[in-house]
């Protein structure tokens, strides 16, 4: 299985911090944010990675990560997104890297308190289709800013972005798993109202075709790019857990 870390976007929700750098290079406790995504995938057993970024600070990722060996990466590739076209557009840049393998896609501003290794193993055993990682979020006000999975028992029946009335307490985190069908889905997407290709449309394609599975992450999950408040919530969690270890 290959891993793709997406570290692009303009980071407007973290202005003014992101006026001077890419948000995924901002510090979380004692090191840059993106390194937590790298660590999560490497510890889950995925050591062939591609990092996709864009903007004027793209070169800083190379300065930070280099060939990736220091971080336990066997092979590290880089992709450059020339303009902000959405998560699905950025994923498309990894097609030649991934080839016919399965892929784990991770947004570089997501931090988990538990290992992704069991979920990676579940997808390795899955014959085909896609898999998403959910997190239980109790507050409806928070869910209204996220993608939410409508459930029928353990089965995902639909993913709704920023629902006014959330149909469940399960937020869709920024970790997605796909089989090679994803490369056939991406060219069929139409830009959303904000002019981007949305990863939710990819996920709902798998849902509608009956090929989407889901796992619920245990413990903490945070999206450090969601807002300034979320950024500091994730920072506080990382500081407490790392300083205690």
Q: Supply the pTM of this predicted model.
A: 0.96
Other residues' Cβ atoms within 10 Å of the Cβ of residue 147:
22
> What does the pLDDT read at residue 101?
98
> What does the pLDDT read at residue 244?
76
| H or E stretch at 78 | strand 75-81
> What does the pLDDT read at residue 18?
84
**CA end-to-end distance (rounded Å), the chain:** 30
Q: For the chain, which residues make up each domain, given as ranges?
A: 2-132+173-193+220-244
Residue 11, classed as helix, strand or coil, is coil
pLDDT tens-digit profile of 87-136? 999 999 999 999 999 999 999 999 999 999 999 999 999 999 999 999 99
| H or E stretch at 106 | strand 103-107
> What does the pLDDT read at residue 15?
85
Q: What DSSP line would sit under 154-222, residue for residue? A: TEEEEEEES-SS-SSSEEEEEEEEE-TTHHHHGGG----TTSS--HHHHHHHHHHTT-EEEEEPPS-EE
Q: Name the stretches of the chain with pLDDT < 70.
A: 245
Other residues' Cβ atoms within 10 Å of the Cβ of residue 122:
14
Q: Which CATH superfamily is domain 2-132+173-193+220-244 in?
A: Spore Coat Polysaccharide Biosynthesis Protein SpsA; Chain A (3.90.550.10)
Phi/psi of residue 130, nearest 5 degrees:
-125, 170
Cis peptide preceding 163, ω within 30 of 0: no
């Amino acid at each position: 299985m290959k891993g793709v870390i997406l570290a692009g976007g303009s980071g407007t929700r973290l202005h003014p911090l992101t006026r001077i750098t890419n948000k995924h290079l901002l510090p979380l406790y004692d090191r840059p944010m993106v390194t937590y995504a790298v660590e999560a995938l490497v510890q889950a057993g995925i050591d062939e990675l591609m990092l996709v970024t864009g903007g004027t600070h793209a070169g800083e990722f190379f300065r930070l990560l280099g060939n990736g060996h220091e971080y336990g990466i066997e092979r590290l590739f880089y992709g450059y997104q020339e303009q902000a076209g959405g998560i699905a557009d950025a994923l498309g840049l990894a097609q030649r890297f991934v080839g016919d393998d399965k892929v784990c896609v991770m947004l570089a501003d997501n931090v988990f308190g538990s290992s992704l290794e069991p979920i990676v193993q579940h997808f390795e055993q899955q014959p085909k289709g896609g898999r998403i990682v959910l997190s239980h979020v109790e507050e409806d006000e928070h869910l209204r800013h996220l993608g939410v999975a409508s459930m029928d028992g353990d089965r995902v029946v639909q993913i709704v972005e920023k629902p006014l009335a959330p149909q469940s307490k399960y937020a869709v985190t920024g970790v997605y798993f796909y089989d090679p069908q994803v490369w056939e889905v991406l060219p069929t997407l139409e830009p959303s109202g904000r002019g981007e290709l949305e990863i939710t449309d990819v996920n709902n394609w798998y849902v509608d075709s009956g090929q989407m599975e889901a796992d619920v992450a245990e413990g903490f999950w945070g999206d450090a790019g969601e807002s300034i408040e979320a950024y500091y919530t994730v920072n506080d969690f990382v500081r407490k857990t790392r300083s205690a270890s």
